[in-house]
A and B are shown apart, each in its own frame.
Chain A
Amino acid sequence: MGSRASSLLREEDIEEIKKETGFSHSQITRLYSRFHSLDKGENGALSREDFQRIPELAINPLGDRIINAFFPEGEDQANFRGFMRTLAHFRPVEDNEKNKDLTSGEPLNSRTNKLLFAFRLYDLDRDDKISRDELLQVLRMMVGVNISDEQLGSIADRTIQEADTNGDMCISFSEFIKVLEKVDVEQKMSIRFLH
């Protein structure tokens, strides 16, 4: 019988998520409905298979990396709090003006945190540096078989050369921020959630 989705989400939980992420009450209930509909096993958490069942995500070249971002280090299950925390990175920055009751500290959807999200897509081993290999891996995921190893290698070298300022042949987070300082990150990494 139909999914009684929001009856499983308590008001206190909604308030906490609201404070932590900045989503509105109705946004949280609707995202919970979505979470619940993805959760085919009905165990209150999403597995990687649940995400891969979404065709549009399965054909996304970076699909696996994006799915990874929803799972905390070493875990196989994503609960609703974690789901919302990850989605919060994509809230538009303008929405913060409307919602003043966030806790202190940087909101999850600040420019820096959006960049950190993107950085972590490259930095698979979480050592806070994008090595040449990690860059090549992401490039290979995005182009498939259409570009040769040599060409891809030279693209990677060029990119690292441009970005690397301290000569360690890796891109650190601060170098990453510097390279992208002119890009409109707030707009490109935001999703327009309806109220």
Chain B
Amino acid sequence: MFPLSHLICMLLGISFTVWFTLLLVFIIVPAIFGVSFGIRRLYMKSLIKLFEWATLRMERGAKEKNQHLYKPYSNGIIAKEPVSLEQEIQDMRRGGAEPEFDMSDIFYFCRRGVESIVDDEVTKRFTAEELESWNLLTRSNYNFHHISTRLTALWGVGVLIRYGFLLPLRVTLAFTGVGLLVVLTSIVGLFPNGRMKNYLSDKVHLMCYRICVRALTAIITYHDSENKPKNGGICVANHTSPIDVIILASDGCYAMVGQVHGGLMGVIQRAMVKACPHIWFERSEVKDRHLVAKRLSDHVADKSKLPILIFPEGTCINNTSVMMFKKGSFEIGCTVYPVAIKYDPRFGDAFWNSSKFGMVNYLLHMMSSWAIVCSVWYLPPMSRMEGEDAVQFANRVKAAIARKGGLADLLWDGGLKRGKVKEVFKEEQQKLYSKVLVGSSEDGSSS
């Protein structure tokens, strides 16, 4: 018995050593130097071929049974007419010079109301995007049928690989990345302020974020890097998940903004701020808009400090659209560097549905997906123009980001995820209708 257990110990020791050496050589060292072996891209290409094969098999299965394959329509269940209230009511008036009330006026509101019940622009942005075809993950299998035994076997193998190999690997990397971040930033914090400290802080942050990127098997393509944010500016991006921060910060150095947390997050925050100035607010300070604006402006005015990273939507949206930008960051009056982030949902859905999943659950989902694939576009910097107020500026930036990322540009507030819509919008509709009703007799006097 003794030599056997001795043998087992030796084997375990050797496998651990091999494991860690591989980890170091293939993942951590490249992360430190910012190079890549291209393993992840190869992995991504093979996955795409796999999904295509799976779709073909499902279509074949459907044809054999003479049924239709479920295809979620990404362009909606209904086709909406883009007709305005005034136009429609005028159309329905039969002759008659004076627009008066007609009993058919309710048809417009009626139809619009039922259209919004069948398909509205807002509620579908707060749940994960539906996929066109199955990607062999149970969590995205809502309506896909005709899954043959071969596919099921493949799915089984997928489960083994993802939970047995990828998940432990990723968790190890995550701990390494976060651990190194805390330790190294604290060490850098001991240096006196100056060029050396800034240089080291940048390097340390980049290295640790790159390890975290590998911990998620994130395959990121950066476009237009000549527009990368510079000191003294604010970087704004659309928000899909907390991972957005890791994705952007592994390619450039930013000053983060956020609320002070307790627990592990708090430890990380306190360590990070030792190495370079990030902006953390106490819970009570968040409500004070002037205080927030002042701290942001002060930071921006100091050209030696890093560009601030802000997500003006204020909440996570599911990456099919960009919702209302809060005007706070656009009032500061400095250059804004817009960034568009678009995830490819086939490999793993990055959206954090915070009403359904907590943070730990979410991270587990992330780390047991195939990969996180996304594209990042750096847009040319924008500044507020003459005669433009903060809201118009915010909308202009939002439109640019939506256009570049191929996302829908919505005026609705992301806060509708949790709260009710404001009465004032209904009052606008009522005002509009009243104008149509009595408009011609009160032209100019109605405001």
Contacts and interface: CB of A to CB of B under 8 A. Distances in A.
A31 B118 contact: yes
Interface stretch (B35-43, B68-76, B314-322, B383-391): B68-76
B78 A2 contact: no
Query: Interface SS of chain A: helix, strand, loop or mixed?
Result: helix
B122 A87 contact: no
B103 A194 contact: no
A158 interface: yes
Contact of B426 (A27, A59, A193): A59
A102 interface: no
A135 to B, nearest CB: 9
A102 to B, nearest CB: 21
Interface in A52-83: 52-63, 66, 70
Interface of A: 1-7, 25-27, 29-31, 33-34, 37-38, 51-63, 66, 70, 87, 90, 117-118, 121-122, 138-139, 142-147, 151, 155-156, 158-159, 163, 171, 176, 179-180, 182-183, 185, 188-194
Contacts of A38: 117, 123
B138 interface: yes
B426 A147 contact: no
Interface of B: 68, 70-73, 75-81, 88, 92, 94, 100-124, 127-128, 138-143, 412, 416, 420-421, 425-431, 433-435, 437-438, 446
B111 A54 contact: no
B430 A61 contact: yes
Nearest to A141: B430
A144 B432 CA distance: 10
A60 B430 contact: no
Contacts of B124: 37
B446 to A, nearest CB: 8
Given A60-B112, A60-B426, A62-B113, A194 B78 contact: yes
Contacts of A37: 123-124, 127
Contact of A146 (B75, B80, B430): B430
Nearest to B412: A55
Contacts of A66: 109-110, 113-114, 117
Given A159-B101, A185-B107, A143 B433 contact: yes
Contacts of B110: 62, 66, 117-118, 121, 189
Given A87-B114, A189-B110, A58 B426 contact: yes
A56 B120 contact: yes
A6 B138 contact: no
Contacts of A4: 141-143
A158 B111 CA distance: 25
Contacts of A159: 101-103
30 contacts: A2-B142, A33-B142, A33-B143, A34-B118, A34-B119, A51-B117, A54-B116, A56-B112, A56-B120, A60-B426, A61-B433, A62-B106, A62-B109, A62-B113, A87-B118, A90-B111, A143-B433, A144-B427, A155-B101, A156-B101, A158-B100, A159-B101, A185-B104, A185-B107, A189-B111, A190-B111, A191-B114, A192-B80, A193-B118, A194-B76
A24 to B, nearest CB: 10
Nearest to A148: B438
Given A54-B122, A188-B92, A194-B76, A6 B429 contact: no
Contact of A61 (B70, B72, B109): B109
B438 A121 contact: no
B52 to A, nearest CB: 21
Contacts of A183: 92, 94, 104, 107
Nearest to A117: B110
